[in-house]
Amino acid sequence: MSMKKIIAVAAATVMTIGLAACSSDAAGTGGGSEGSVGISMPTRSLERWINDGEGLKAQLEDAGYSADLQYADDKADTQISQIQNQIASGVDVLVIAAIDGELLAPVLADAKAQDIAVISYDRLINGTPDVDYYATFDNYKVGQLQGEFIEEQLGLADGAGPFNLEPFAGSPDDNNAKFFFSGAWDVLLPYVENGQLVVPSGKAPASNDDWASIGILGWKSDSAQSELDNRLGSFYTGGEKIDVVLSPNDSLAQGIAASLRSAGYTAGTDWPLLTGQDADKASVVNILAGEQSMTVWKDTRELGNVVFGFIEAIMAGEEPEINDTETYDNGEKVVPAFLIAPEVVVKDDVQSKLIDSGFIQASDVGL
């Protein structure tokens, strides 16, 4: 953020505080008197983004900001026009979870020209100097936790195997997906190379850089389901069984579980290990039913708190707190980031971690 913006924002903040008594619409976009924020989220089709968007909007409004929340139905061009509208409406800060992190440079150049601060939310925005801060979970760690879970459950470090593995990766247009895959593959690839893990479909990237060859575009459950249907139909025709599926997130894991179910796998008998991420309610139900082995839980309320802290600092003309200045090079700059630690949730943790913390309600998952 430029010094000019800091001073301008600080002055505007003082002014809006002064005006607050006589106007409830001092920030320009209606509602908040402390400043206005445009929030741009990818899709309502995945539970986590609904929690992310609505949680942050409520927190901002409670603190006196106005917040415009938009969902773009996973369409990059829709997201760009929604951001253009937010710029035109005079927001002070943009919070963006990018659909395609490569396509936002031009619209962010417009934002910068208007001195709007830009926060990259959860997913890094690439190829532009016009992104100021990045708040996310430690994405490499997410994959590492999945890989280590598989390593431990199968006893790979003790030499057990061979086991049949089918790996999946996330959407090729999502910058996070390569971090998830690298974290997992750094743990698992050595076991593929030494034969303790066998990939009957052959869909085993030879290196982390080849991850997109098994990426599921748009993180779609249906596409993951048909991909596994195809692998099962082509490579498991002689009675072979899958022992483990590496799934980067819950939306894929739900499609994978559907495919396993229709192929006749049964929880508690031959159901394979299956990883996930997000603690989506549908996946927590599957975890309780023994149809998903774990999820990597990212408490989106914590991410909201970090971003809220960024916004408070930006509005006050201060530097937000960051804890990573090395990992997230977007091709134009290393974006100052705050990384939050993710954690593993298995069946036995559902009550203590997810329900007791209020992240989900017992009734949401049939408890």
Nearer to ligand BGC, 194 or 323 (CB): 323
Which residues ranging from 193 to 212 are in contact with ligand BGC (CB under 6 A)?
A: none
Q: Among 9, 34, 48, 185, indicate the residue that binds ligand BGC (CB under 6 A).
A: 48
Nearer to ligand BGC, 212 or 316 (CB): 212
158, two tokens: 């003790």
Nearer to ligand BGC, 92 or 278 (CB): 278
Q: Nearest 5°: phi and psi at 66?
A: -100, 150
219 in contact with ligand BGC (CB under 6 A) = yes
123 in contact with ligand BGC (CB under 6 A) = yes
176 in contact with ligand BGC (CB under 6 A) = yes
Measured distance CA(14)–CA(284) in Å, rounded: 46
253, two tokens: 């894991």
Site string for ligand BGC, 268-287 (x = CB under 6 A): ---------xx---------
> Which of 214, 273, 263, 261 lies closest to 240, judged by CA?
263
Q: In this structure, what DSSP letter does residue 63 have? A: T
Nearer to ligand BGC, 46 or 273 (CB): 46
> Nearest to ligand BGC by Cβ — which residue?
249
Nearer to ligand BGC, 279 or 365 (CB): 279
Residue 310 CB, nearest distance to ligand BGC (Å)? 18
Nearer to ligand BGC, 45 or 226 (CB): 45
Cα of first residue to Cα of last residue in the chain, in angstroms, is 47
Residue 299 CB, nearest distance to ligand BGC (Å)? 12
User: Where would I find the beta strands (DSSP E) of 295-349?
Assistant: 295-297, 337-340, 343-345
Reading phi first (left if > 0) and then psi (alpha if -120 to 50, else beta), residue 296 is in: beta
Helix locations, the chain, DSSP H: 3-19, 47-62, 76-88, 105-113, 139-154, 175-193, 221-235, 250-262, 281-288, 300-315
Nearer to ligand BGC, 235 or 281 (CB): 281
Site string for ligand BGC, 313-342 (x = CB under 6 A): ------------------------------
Contact between 120 and 131 (Cβ < 8 Å): yes
Residue 48 CB, nearest distance to ligand BGC (Å)? 5
**Side-chain-side CA neighbours of residue 285 (13 Å):** 11
Helix H or strand E segment including 120:
strand 117-121
CA angle 173, 217, 235 (to 5 degrees): 135
Nearer to ligand BGC, 25 or 222 (CB): 222
Contact between 165 and 154 (Cβ < 8 Å): no
> Which of 104, 32, 106 lies closest to 69, judged by CA?
32
112 in contact with ligand BGC (CB under 6 A) = no
Residue 86 CB, nearest distance to ligand BGC (Å)? 21
Which residues ranging from 55 to 84 are in contact with ligand BGC (CB under 6 A)?
A: none
Cα 37 from chain centroid (whole Å) = 20
Measured distance CA(301)–CA(360) in Å, rounded: 12
Nearer to ligand BGC, 199 or 284 (CB): 284
Helix H or strand E segment including 190:
helix 175-193
Number of residues assigned to the chain: 367
Give the Cβ contact number of residue 220 at 10 Å.
Answer: 18
249 in contact with ligand BGC (CB under 6 A) = yes
Nearer to ligand BGC, 71 or 185 (CB): 71
141 in contact with ligand BGC (CB under 6 A) = no
Residue 250 CB, nearest distance to ligand BGC (Å)? 6
How many chain residues interact with ligand BGC (CB under 6 A)?
11
Residue 8 CB, nearest distance to ligand BGC (Å)? 32
Q: Among 68, 138, 174, 299, indicate the residue that binds ligand BGC (CB under 6 A).
A: 174
The distance between the two most distant Cα atoms of the chain, rounded to a whole number of Å, is 76
Q: Among 37, 46, 306, 337, indicate the residue that binds ligand BGC (CB under 6 A).
A: 46
- Residues making contact with ligand BGC (CB under 6 A): 46, 48, 122-123, 174, 176, 219, 249, 251, 277-278
